[in-house]
Amino acid sequence: SAPAAAGVRQRTEPKMAGTEEPVLFDIGALHIAENAEGWGPTAQATKYDNLPYAPFSRSERVGKASDFTSQGFKYDRRYGDRAPTTSVFNFHADQEEDSFHLVDSRPVRGSGGFRGRRPWQNRAHQRRDTGTADVGRDQGAGAERERQRRQRTQQKRQSQWSNNMWHDRRNQQSHSASVEIRPEWTVLEQIDLPALTKLNFTLKEEPENLYECGALCQYDKTLDRATPRIEKPLRRFASRSFFKVTTSEDPIIQKLAEEDKAQVFATDSILSTLMCVTRSAYPWDIVIQRVGNKLYFDKRNDEFDLLTVSETAQESLVDDKESNSPNTVQALGQEATVINQNFSQQALLEKAPKHEFKERDPFVTQGVDAAPVAYRYRRWVLDEDTSLVVRCQLDAVGQNRGQEALMTVKALNEYDSKMTGVDWRQKIENQRGAVMATELKNNAMKLAKWTAEANMAGADLMKIGFISRVHTKDNYNHVILATQGYKPKDFAAQINLAMNN
């Protein structure tokens, strides 16, 4: 047959009887680029410009050409730094649509926590606790001792669990209100206690002493030499009278109110309670009486004057008035109050010359053995229209660097070292700072009140005695272990008590 035309390929097949003509296929003109100067393409193909390219050598392991599932890190972690980096082939979405969600096909792993015992583990645990695991083994004395040891261990664990639950119930104990809230009362305002810590009031003038009365005895310095090795018994002054007169019944305050010396009247114990209310944990209440343009802050009953013990401790005390335990809230409060009264009198030198003020004690009557104290009626000017008069109390007078110093005398008491956390007899001589830090944690309200009262009275020194029971269960006999003196302003800064608040 004749040759085919250019660009046309002819397929010939043997002709047979009854067949048609040959079929011709048109594949177009062929173009071959010839590189006369070497081997390879003569020019760059433009249709491959936007495709990524990752260079590699023959010694490198080639991974996937394209990874749309972001699982290539498994290959890299397997081969380390020898694995090639093919990040150019990874899929990256510049703008994800809201309807796009990444689906993780990996199996969900467990949390790794406690999954409980298997059935065979439960049976083995039961056999071990009941002692049946030793069946078929040696039943001699050694096996019997082992079973008894396991029983004691199990009983100990159950006892610890019961004690922990009991402590949790104690910490969750709530105290009853000091006054019954009647439904017909109208709530005028509720004050958030944390908000009170942000208040600040600066006085423009120093307080003025309007009236000073009473007499002060000299402080007995021999108490400062008391140590746990040289204990001093705490004497009782059962026949001595201590007066805690409320504001409206004070004759001096009534006289000052008639002379219109101020518009607000209070005592140091009532005002200090209001100043330190953010640290209190036990309920209390006061009565405010308005007479004309005068306000009187009064206490409702004598329970207001009882001191608190471990009020701010982590573990709450038993609040049961019918209990006979000496470590209830009521019993410890009465014990602490009596200890303070006895210590304030034992710390005085009654035969030494007294520091007499101009006026006599307004509460002492003839034939009454009254505690020698002094009162200062001090006035603070709050603004142009309001003044405050407070009756402040001083307990003793002493010498500080050759000068006469007015002081207040207070006492901290230890009732059970296991409950307070620190044994005073072992720590108070060499680690008095640790003892005081524990008391600041357990009795923050009481110490703050004492500090505020000393600052309001203008005392130069605050003397604190550390009193402990002779025996843990004996709340009647006590001993003096040590004493410590503090300057009220310095101690207020130490316990973070701001007088301007």
Q: Which residues are registered as beta bridge partners of 212?
A: 376
pLDDT tens-digit map of 295-339: 999 999 999 999 999 999 988 888 777 788 899 999 999 999 999
Rounded distance between C-alpha atoms, residue 131 and residue 329, angstroms: 46
Rounded distance between C-alpha atoms, residue 38 and residue 68, angstroms: 39
pLDDT tens-digit map of 356-394: 999 999 999 888 999 999 999 999 999 999 999 999 999
Looking at residue 144, its pLDDT comes to 80
The residue behind tokens 């999954």 is: 115
Instruction: Extract the tokens encoding 330.
Output: 């009521």
Overall pTM > 0.75: no
More confident residue, 63 or 259: 259
Looking at residue 5, its pLDDT comes to 42
Distances (CA, A) of 388 to 260, 292, 393, 418, 428: 11, 16, 16, 44, 40
Q: What is the mean pLDDT of residues 120-127?
A: 53
3-state secondary structure of 107: coil
pLDDT tens-digit map of 336-352: 999 999 999 999 998 99
Please say if the pLDDT value at position 495 is more than 70: yes
DSSP string, 228-241: SSS-EEPP--TT-B
Mean pLDDT lowest among 76-85, 199-208, 250-259: 76-85
Instruction: Give the chain's mean pLDDT.
Output: 81
